[in-house]
Each structure stands twice: as C-alpha cells, then as structure tokens.
C-alpha cells in the first residue's frame, strides 16, 4: 500500500527521453518510496546510456537520492 495514495499494488517508474520514448522502466511494491526505487533504475540507465549526465525529476525524488546520483553516477538531478 502506498501510504500517501492509499493504493494497493505496484508503482511504475520510468525514465524517458525528451520526446517521451521510454529508456528504462521498473516496477516496485507500492510501499517502496520513489527515491529508493529510482536509484536502482538510475543504475540501469547509466549502464545502457553512459553519456546521459542530467535528468529532470519531480519533487518525489528527494533527499539522499540527489546527492547519491551525483556522487555515484555523476548525474545531476
């Protein structure tokens, strides 16, 4: 259950390019916070597209995720 939305099931996280084409996607249980699942998704992105250096995200991806992305993957969020 997602504590904020009170929805049972899964969350779908995707990374798209500027045209909306899906680059990477993952699903997680609904109780996993967005920023925690995003780290694993970002790791897959770096392997597939190592030239990407900046991504744009909404405020759901906050906290240590931004610093870890910069430190571990050299990507600005």
47, two tokens: 């392997």
**What residue numbers bound the domain in which 46 lies?**
10-73
Query: Tens of pLDDT along 40-68?
Result: 889 999 999 999 999 988 887 777 888 88
Query: Tens of pLDDT along 11-23?
Result: 888 899 999 999 9
**pTM, two decimal places:** 0.73
Alpha-carbon span 34 to 3, nearest angstrom: 12
Say if 47 falls within a structural domain.
yes
The number of folded domains in the chain is 1
Say if 3 falls within a structural domain.
no
């Amino acid at each position: 259950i997602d504590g904020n939305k009170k929805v049972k099931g899964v969350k779908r996280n995707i990374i798209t390019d500027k045209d909306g084409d899906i680059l990477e996607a993952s699903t997680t249980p609904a109780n996993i916070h967005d920023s925690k699942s995003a780290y694993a998704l970002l790791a897959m992105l770096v392997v597939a597209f190592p030239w990407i250096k900046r991504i744009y995200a909404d405020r759901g991806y906050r906290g240590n995720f931004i610093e870890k992305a910069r430190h571990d993957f050299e990507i600005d969020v």
